[in-house]
A = this chain, B = another copy of it.
Amino acid sequence: MSLVRIYECLCDETRLRIVQLLTRGPLCVCHLQAVLEVPQARVSQHLAYLRDRGMVGCRRRGTWMIYSLPEKPGAELASHLACLQDCSVSDKRFRADLRKLKAIGSDCAPAGATT
């Protein structure tokens, strides 16, 4: 994944928030949508953009789709994701997103599935 490709993926606020959230672990579309508070179609469109460029991968779990960052990113991507993660610590918007994620519950289980 080239440097330009990495920056293309991150130069939009919605995609940046998605990738920031995914640095904390895989997430499903409905959780991403709940945290970002944007229309579902927009989340899907940006996920498709990221998927097309190899920034995220996905796997199905029933009707849910779980998105995650690459397990084996190249050196450049790993380096930039680490850098982004460092910077996100002081990013107010990201901290707010994290609080929302914690409030929702980030185990990506269907509501009511717990026993």
- Can you tell how many copies of this chain the complex includes? 2
Chain B residues contacting A11 (CB-CB under 8 Å) are: 4, 7-8, 10-11
A29 interface residue per 8 A CB criterion: no
User: Number of A residues contacting the other chain (C-beta, 8 Å)?
Assistant: 20
A41 interface residue per 8 A CB criterion: no
How distant is the Cα of A5 from the Cα of B7 in the complex, in angstroms?
10
Instruction: Closest B residue to A84 by CB, please name it.
Output: B3
Chain A to chain B: the 8 pairs with minimum beta-carbon distance, closest first? A7-B11, A83-B83, A7-B10, A8-B11, A7-B7, A76-B87, A11-B11, A4-B13
Q: Which of A62-87 contact B (CB under 8 A)?
A: 75-76, 79-80, 82-84, 86-87
